[in-house]
């Protein structure tokens, strides 16, 4: 499936509110939400899956005997608690109630953990020039291997389900797609190839901008750090910025730079620049520029469908605007006698499919169905019945404040 393609879908651009479907041949047993299956259909179609194959894949997923588990996969919900995974080749030794993974069979003294960096259940720790990973306590997990065993990077250390978000970050898309696809074959009547085809867009199509790069005249990269976008949209933005930087290129510059200017497709221009490693050549021509950087993210069907609806990009949230939204929606809870905070408001927005990427414009354009979805999500977060008119009034105050 190509990650170059995405199509726009008519609609409001938010998460659809749908009814729960039933599994084929399972009577009235609750199954996957119809809106989730619609989002899955949209995503598969947008990334090159033929119509007939898409129908077969969606039907197979709908036939699952464990709809909650499949929903977690399709919505990129992290497993709780997640299984531990070895991040390096080495030896797993018990240290008190914890376990230390190091390259040496007997760990040296003085390993100090960096609690700000955790991955796959472990915390990175160092002792001089040596690096290890500290796991634990088990908290109900069971080790799959005896303490003291030699393990390989990527090997599962405990029972449970590894977090695909961490697998993608540490081991890349191929490993993550295989792991998630393998789990899906246990839940649905899908062979391994079909299961991987199903989850591939969720693990390869979206990226988060981690660096905007640097460009002449202040740059033209339109996606700020923290934005979510499709991989193609990211390449397009890089290609546009490169095109801007090449304006006024001297005739004596390297022909490869002039060739870049002749490429019409922005994404292809970015690919050519990166593949030919033209940074130094560009600097020699007097161009100070560097492409933006991104990292792949595991995005659920509903979020990915929304990303496609919004032209392939959701800008990073404006913290000042989020403060206003949090204050007003929290006030809804307090008016009902429930103590609420800004984090509760943001969680409700996320559950309703409105965050990240919430903007004054997007809130002003909410459909009645989306307002109903936000009301329901806020009620779930606050554990209290929320009248829709309270939410509408809060949205009007937000709109007035940011008009």
How many angstroms separate the CA atoms of 351 and 116, rounded? Answer: 27
The half-sphere exposure of 185 on its side-chain side, counting CA atoms within 13 A, is 13
How high is the pLDDT of residue 306?
A: 85
Does residue 278 register a pLDDT over 80?
Answer: yes
**For the chain, percent of residues with pLDDT exceeding 70:** 87
Show Cβ contacts of residue 306 under 8 Å, excluding neighbours closer than 6 positions.
13, 14, 15, 314, 353, 357
Helix/strand/coil percent split, the chain, to 5? 45, 15, 40
Name the 3-class secondary structure at 258.
helix
Query: Which ranges of 263-387 does DSSP label H, i.e. alpha helix?
Result: 266-275, 279-284, 301-309, 319-335, 342-351, 360-364, 368-382
Please, which pLDDT band fits residue 224 given cuts at 50, 70 and 90?
confident
Structure tokens at 237: 């933005």
Range with the poorest average pLDDT among 206-220, 261-275, 345-359: 206-220
pLDDT greater than 60 at residue 15: no
Within its chain, how far is the Cα of 191 from the centroid? Answer: 25
pTM for the full predicted model: 0.71
Q: Which of 1-5, 139-143, 193-197, 352-356 has the lowest mean pLDDT?
A: 1-5
Give residue 18's pLDDT.
Answer: 33
Residue-wise pLDDT tens digits, 64-105: 999 999 999 999 998 888 999 999 999 999 998 999 999 999
pLDDT in the model for residue 71: 95
Listing DSSP states for 66-127 in one string gives -HHHHHHHHTTPPPSSEEPB--SSEEEEEETTEEEEESSSSPPS--EEEEEEEETTEEEEEE
pLDDT score, position 241: 83
Q: Which of 156-170, 298-312, 315-329 has the highest mean pLDDT?
A: 156-170
Can you tell me which residue has the tokens 């894949």?
Answer: 57
Distance CA 310, CA 76 (A): 20
| pLDDT tens-digit series, residues 156-189 | 999 999 999 999 999 999 999 999 999 999 999 9
Is residue 194 pLDDT above 90, yes or no? yes
Distance (Å, rounded) from C-alpha 150 to C-alpha 233? 43
Considering the chain, what is the average pLDDT of its residues? Answer: 84
Could you tell me the CA-to-CA distances from 220 to 31, 132, 280, 289 in Å, in that order? 46, 41, 20, 11
Look at phi and psi of residue 5 and say left if phi exceeds 0, alpha if psi is from -120 to 50, else beta.
Answer: beta
- pLDDT at residue 178 in the model: 96
Question: Can you tell me the mean pLDDT for 13-36?
Answer: 51
């Amino acid at each position: 499936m190509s990650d170059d393609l995405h199509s726009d879908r008519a609609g409001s651009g938010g998460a659809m509110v749908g009814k729960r479907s039933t599994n084929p041949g399972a009577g009235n047993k609750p199954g996957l939400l119809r809106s989730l299956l619609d989002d899955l259909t949209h995503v598969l179609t947008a990334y090159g899956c033929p119509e007939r194959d898409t129908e077969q894949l969606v039907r197979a997923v709908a036939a699952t005997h464990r709809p909650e588990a499949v929903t977690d996969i399709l919505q990129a919900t992290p497993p709780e608690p997640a299984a531990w995974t070895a991040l390096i080749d080495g030896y797993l030794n018990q240290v008190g109630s914890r376990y230390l993974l190091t390259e040496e069979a007997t760990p040296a003294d003085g390993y100090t953990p960096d609690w700000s960096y955790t991955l796959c259940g472990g915390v990175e720790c160092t002792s001089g020039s040596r690096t290890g990973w500290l796991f634990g306590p088990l908290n109900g997990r069971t080790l799959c291997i005896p303490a003291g065993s030699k393990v390989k990077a990527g090997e599962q250390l405990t029972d449970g389900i590894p977090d695909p978000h961490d697998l993608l970050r540490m081991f890349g898309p191929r490993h993550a797609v295989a792991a998630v696809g393998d789990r899906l074959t246990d839940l649905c009547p899908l062979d391994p190839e079909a299961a991987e085809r199903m989850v591939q867009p969720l693990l390869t199509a979206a990226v988060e901008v981690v660096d905007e790069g640097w460009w002449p005249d202040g740059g033209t990269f339109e996606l700020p750090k923290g934005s979510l976008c499709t991989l193609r949209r990211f390449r397009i933005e890089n290609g546009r910025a490169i095109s801007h930087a090449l304006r006024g290129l001297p005739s004596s510059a390297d022909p490869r730079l002039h060739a870049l200017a002749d490429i019409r497709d922005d994404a292809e221009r970015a690919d050519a620049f990166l593949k030919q490693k033209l940074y130094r050549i560009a600097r020699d021509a007097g161009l100070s520029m560097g492409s933006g950087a991104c990292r792949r993210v595991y995005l659920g069907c509903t979020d990915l469908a929304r990303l496609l609806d919004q032209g392939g990009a959701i800008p990073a949230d404006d913290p000042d605007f989020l403060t206003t939204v949090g204050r007003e929606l929290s006030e809804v809870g307090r008016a009902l006698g429930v103590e609420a905070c800004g984090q509760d408001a943001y969680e409700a927005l996320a559950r309703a499919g409105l965050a990240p990427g919430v903007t004054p414009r997007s809130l002003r354009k909410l459909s009645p169905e989306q307002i109903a979805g936000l009301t329901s999500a806020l009620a779930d977060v606050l554990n209290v019945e929320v009248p829709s008119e309270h939410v509408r009034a809060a949205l009007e105050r937000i709109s007035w404040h940011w008009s």
